Structure 1
Amino acid sequence: MARKVRRFSGGVYDLGLHVVWCPKYRRPVLGGQVGVRLRELIEQKAAERGWEIIALEVMPDHVHLFVKHDPKSSSSYVANQFKGITSRVLRAEFPHLKSRMPTLWSSSYFVASVGAVSAATVEKYINTQWERPWKREKGDAS
């Protein structure tokens, strides 16, 4: 995948998150029409916020989402935006989700930042700054 950076008045960014969340009690309730509607709602919310979905898998008992987002949105905000709207709409449209569970989603989720380079690459880049031929001697303040 080619790297695509976005611009805003203060700079450029390329931020991605891998988000995973599960129904309460990890019940397998996301199959069939519920899963189809869940996917639609996630895509709708992403479009509304200007976020880009890179990958989305709705499994019977959990959701995997890889989404690119803006720098003003924290990882918890992104996860909770998807969980909040989908819970409200799905429970209204599918009454069996209300009768079997007190809430649709577990209160927890997993989120990890996803970048174009690995942590090891960034660490090596930072640690070898003074080895670049165009850099001044380490500690040279002039």
Structure 2
Amino acid sequence: MTRRVRRFSGGVYDLRYHVVWCPKYRRPVLGGQVAARLEELIRAKAAEHDWEIIALEVMPDHVHLSVKAHTKDSPSRIANQFKGFTSRVLREEFPHLRSRLPTLWSSSYFVATVGAVSQDTVRRYIDTQWERPWKKGGEGA
């Protein structure tokens, strides 16, 4: 797999997040047409913010999303953008979601960074900086 980085005037980055969220009380309400519409809405919100969806799976009682985002977007903002937008639209389009749940989504979510290399690899790279061939002669990088 080739690593695709994004560039901007101040640098280069590759930020990926794994985000998981659940309906209130973890009720299994994300099936059929609701699941299909939820997937459409998540893809639309990602396109609006120029976030790249790596993987998306809508389960009956939770959502798994792997998304590549920009440096300006915090993980909490990403989760809240998806949750807020999808809740409003789904509850408008599917009235049974309003009658069964006080709010569509639980207030919590899980988010983790997804790196292209392991923490051990990064640590080893940092710890061995002075062992690089171009550093041994005392020259700058």
Whether the TM-score (by the shorter chain) exceeds 0.5 is yes
Runs of 5+ unmatched residues, structure 1: none
Match of 2:108 in 1: 108
- For residues 45-66 of structure 1, the C-alpha deviation after alignment (integer angstroms, 9 at most, x for no partner) is 0000000000000000000000
Bigger mean CA offset, 1-10 vs 50-59: 1-10
Which structure 2 residues correspond to residues 21-60 of structure 1 after superposition, within 5 A? 21-60=21-60
The answer to whether structure 1 residue 10 and structure 2 residue 13 are counterparts is no
The whole-number CA distance in structure 2 between the counterparts of 1:115 and 1:47 is: 22
Match of 2:67 in 1: 67
Which structure 2 residues correspond to residues 118-133 of structure 1 after superposition, within 5 A? 118-133=118-133
RMSD, matched Cα: 1.5
Secondary structure at the aligned position of 1:135 is classed as: helix
Secondary structure at the aligned position of 2:107 is classed as: coil
Query: Shift of residue 2 of structure 1?
Result: 1.6
The whole-number CA distance in structure 2 between the counterparts of 1:4 and 1:13 is: 9
Secondary structure at the aligned position of 1:48 is classed as: helix
Runs of 5+ unmatched residues, structure 2: none
The whole-number CA distance in structure 1 between the counterparts of 2:92 and 2:139 is: 64
Query: Shift of residue 141 of structure 1?
Result: 9.9
- For residues 113-138 of structure 1, the C-alpha deviation after alignment (integer angstroms, 9 at most, x for no partner) is 1111111110110011112232147x
The answer to whether structure 1 residue 96 and structure 2 residue 90 are counterparts is no
Match of 2:85 in 1: 85
TM-score after normalising by structure 1: 0.94
TM-score after normalising by structure 2: 0.95
Count, aligned residues? 140
Q: Give, as a single letter, the amino acid of the residue that structure 2 aligns with 1:39.
A: E
The whole-number CA distance in structure 2 between the counterparts of 1:22 and 1:2 is: 32
The whole-number CA distance in structure 1 between the counterparts of 2:34 and 2:139 is: 62
